Chain A
Amino acid sequence: MIVCIGNTKGGVGKTTLAVNLAIARALAGRDVWLIDGDRQGTAQTAISIRAEGGHRPGIACAQYPDGAVLRGQVQQQGRKFDDIIIDAGGRDSTALRAALVLADVLVVPFQPRSYDVWALNDIAGLVDEARSVRDGLRAYAVLNCADPGESSADNAEAAAAVADVPQFEYLATPLRRRKAYANAAGAGLSVLEAKPVDRKAVDELQALVNALF
């Protein structure tokens, strides 16, 4: 399955989520290809830190900031992998658009903040365009860096705001703001393998993985 973690807005935790999802699938025994569609190459850097640290399983990771190249490579090499996770965006780019053309599922992480909710309309426009040139793109919005606690008003309001953007289905498996995600991703790890174990982070990520795959 090809999953694009994308948003035209930056700073929503795309790369952290992409790295976590890719490793989670690899730990589940799948052949995973993580594609970094960002010129900054943060995902690529995280995976090289993972490789230098000798953590198993290793993750195949490639960086294609150019949309045409990304599309060509996935069309040629994609069959060799069980799951492909594409980290794309931060802005409207050829890489993000290529990922939207290729992906089975688009996951749009967003924070329970006004700017993030407003930005959903931008990526929704691209989803419309992508759907006009292809069939079967499923698009989910998922809360990332959500406020702690089950009863957060901002989380609930942000989740409800997704209903105003019909392009997306709201995925009720939020990831909350936890240092465990950032610390693990910085070391090229997922929260599933990082020590000390953050049980809540593990459960959240597992719930998201189960909902997606």
Chain B
Amino acid sequence: MKAHLTRRYMFSASHRLHSAAMSEAENAATYGKCNNPYGHGHNYSLEITVSGLVDESTGMVCNLVDLDGFVQREILQRFDLENLNTRAEFLQTVPTTENLCTAIYDILQRGFTHAHLDKVRIEETMMNSFEYAGAGEIGR
């Protein structure tokens, strides 16, 4: 039978929202306080949902050791306690949480092979959250 497993991770990072495609005035108008040249930070809550048939021998969709190891190595080490603007993923794009969501989805989609990736959900603050499922549908 098919089950969907969601695991939550926390990381902290700073960023500045600034688009090279906009003038200074346009950046200020678009991003407001988030355009402060020195940046600011968040405690991000990252939820990763994977799915698959429950293995009869282990009772698991995938071993959490594999998921935790991959996320630690490929995502948390890359973003936790870093300035997102300096990371390779955001040299060309603005590190909004929308773009962070799709970047993390792409890392998982490329490298995590132990279960099907359903979606990535990120809370930037308690007041806003973002979800991305690639070509899939959000929710059910």
Indicate whether A and B interact.
no
